[in-house]
Amino acid sequence: MFLGEFVHVLDGKGRLTIPAKFRADLDTALVVTRGIDRCLAIFPIPEWEQLAEQVSELPLTDRQARAFRRLLFANASDVSPDKQGRILIPPRLREYAHLDGEVVVAGINTYIELWNPEDWNKEREQVEGENVDIDGWAALGI
């Protein structure tokens, strides 16, 4: 389970150190891809395989399903942490998420999100602000 929020720095080669707290739960291989909200998502292989199976069950005849497949799979990259726990974030993914310098590493239970700090703060303000949609959350059935 990935919990918590950390700030780490991308090095000059585009490598990011995974927080030590998360490393024990990671296999030797991970998948990094575009997230939905202009962030990146990092999945351990078992979680990625489960998601890939669900997405593969979507009908090819559905335009939105095809678009989601493209977003998820065409932008995905296999990465493996080095001995220092660093992963290389491909340039096209760094560009998409506006990652340069500091990066917020957020544990999202079964996966990890990487955020530009300014974008992360905006997202947090939306979620934590006065206009929180409690009814919308209630509709989730939790």
Give tens-digit pLDDT for 76-92: 999 999 888 899 999 99
Query: Which residues on adjacent β-strands are paired with residue 109?
Result: 2
Q: Given a cut of 90, is residue 125 above it in pLDDT?
A: no
- CA nearest neighbour of 31 among 46, 44, 17: 44
Our count of domains for the chain comes to 1
Amino acid at 141: G
CA distance 47 to 45: 5
Model pLDDT for residues 59-72, shown as the tens digit of each residue:
999 999 999 999 89
Query: Which residues on adjacent β-strands are paired with residue 17?
Result: 86
Which structural domain, as residue segments, surrounds residue 103? Answer: 2-138
Q: Given a cut of 80, is residue 137 above it in pLDDT?
A: no
135 vs 103, more confident:
103
The pTM (predicted TM-score) of the whole model is: 0.89
C-alpha distances (whole Å) from 60 to each of 55, 63, 64, 74 are 10, 8, 9, 15
- The CATH number of the domain holding residue 38 is 3.40.1550.20
Element (H, E) at 44: strand 40-44
Q: Return the pLDDT at 24.
A: 79
pLDDT class for 23, splitting at 50, 70, 90? confident
Element (H, E) at 65: helix 63-69
CA distance 34 to 140: 24
Q: Given a cut of 80, is residue 19 above it in pLDDT?
A: yes
- CA nearest neighbour of 78 among 138, 35, 32: 32
Q: Given a cut of 80, is residue 8 above it in pLDDT?
A: yes
Mean pLDDT of the chain: 90
Alpha-helical segments (H) within 71-140: 91-96, 117-128, 134-138
CA distance 90 to 118: 21
pLDDT class for 142, splitting at 50, 70, 90? low
